[in-house]
């Protein structure tokens, strides 16, 4: 997607709809897509921070951690991978090297009583290595949980997962990390995100990452679509009788606003049907 101007991020009313988290960005120059993520300091200073909402910033090393804290981050995130190739492309180091850096970051965060969340990319497939074994995902997840991350978000970065592969992966990870400390992060490249999320819910996962209008993607996973659309996720959860506490109509309004701001069409099926896009 196109870069979102900081001024647009400031006035985006979506943050008022959230119950707990609004992810701000990345605090390390050169990591991920710096053009999209490097303005976190400006965004943190410009937004109104609501009580009860945490504002995490991605911090792959100590330098980034200190910048994030100085900018006002109330939570930090470390972003690992179950694929050696993806780890080197995404954060320029091996999995083992990344774990060593993350341990320093999480240790510092814990000393300051700042929560740390861990992410594992490529849990169901990698754009460079293809299939990823559930055991590899389990190893990385166990390391992150063991160093003190309160929650591990398991990402289907390129959206190739199916309910079957999701089930096998979660069965493996849950042997080392309790379901209460796990989340899923499903991209919708092959249209399987909601099915995969439903599988995770049925297995005891209660936290799901999503993105308004399904925007996003990854510069190192060519062709991958964005995260599952928040609007579509809420619609499904409402249909299951699960109360999210989030107003789907307000989310659609926010999605319409941001799509117009970046000149993109929403990826949300619910929004498309509602707005006749």
Check if 218 is active-site.
yes
Would you state the CATH architecture of domain 6-229? Alpha-Beta Barrel (3.20)
Q: Where are the domains of the chain?
A: 6-229
Tokens for 118, please give them.
């861990």
pLDDT average, residue stretch 162-177: 99
pLDDT of residue 27: 42
193-214 pLDDT tens trace: 999 999 999 999 999 999 999 9
- Asked if residue 211 lies in contact with residue 227, where contact means CB atoms within 8 angstroms, the answer is yes
pLDDT of residue 100: 97
pLDDT average, residue stretch 232-239: 97
In the predicted structure, residue 125 carries a pLDDT above the cut 70: yes
Read off φ and ψ for residue 218, nearest 5 degrees.
Answer: -150, 130
The string of DSSP letters for 131-179 reads ---HHHHHHHHHHHHHTT-SEEEEEETTS---HHHHHHHHHHHTTTS-G
pLDDT average, residue stretch 114-136: 97
Whole-number Å distance between alpha carbons of 11 and 14: 9
pLDDT of residue 64: 87
**Selected catalytic residue, list 122, 149, 218, 259:** 218
- Asked if residue 140 lies in contact with residue 98, where contact means CB atoms within 8 angstroms, the answer is no
């Amino acid at each position: 997607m196109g870069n979102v101007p900081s001024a647009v991020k400031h006035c985006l009313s979506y943050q008022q709809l959230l119950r707990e988290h609004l992810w701000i960005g990345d605090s390390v120059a050169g990591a991920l897509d710096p053009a999209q993520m490097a303005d976190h300091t400006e965004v943190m200073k410009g937004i109104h921070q609501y009580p009860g909402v945490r504002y995490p910033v991605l911090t792959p090393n100590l330098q980034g951690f200190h910048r994030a804290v100085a900018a006002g981050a109330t939570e930090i995130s470390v972003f690992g991978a179950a694929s050696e190739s993806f780890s080197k492309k995404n954060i320029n180091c091996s999995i083992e090297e990344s774990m060593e850096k993350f341990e320093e970051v999480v240790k510092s965060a814990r000393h300051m009583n700042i929560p740390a969340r861990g992410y594992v990319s490529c849990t169901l497939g990698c754009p460079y290595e293809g299939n990823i074994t559930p055991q590899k995902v389990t190893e990385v997840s166990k390391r992150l949980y063991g160093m003190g991350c309160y929650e591990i978000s398991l990402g289907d970065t390129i959206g190739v997962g199916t309910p079957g592969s999701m089930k096998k992966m979660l069965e493996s990870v849950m042997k080392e990390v309790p379901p209460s400390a796990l989340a899923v992060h499903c991209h919708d490249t092959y249209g399987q995100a909601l099915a995969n999320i439903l599988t995770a819910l049925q297995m005891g996962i209660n936290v799901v990452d999503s993105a308004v209008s399904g925007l996003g993607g990854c510069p190192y996973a060519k062709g991958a679509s964005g995260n599952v659309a928040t609007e579509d996720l809420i619609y499904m959860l409402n249909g299951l009788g699960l109360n999210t506490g989030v107003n789907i109509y307000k989310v659609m309004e926010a999605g319409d606003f941001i799509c117009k701001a970046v000149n993109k069409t929403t990826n949300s099926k619910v929004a498309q049907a509602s707005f006749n896009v």
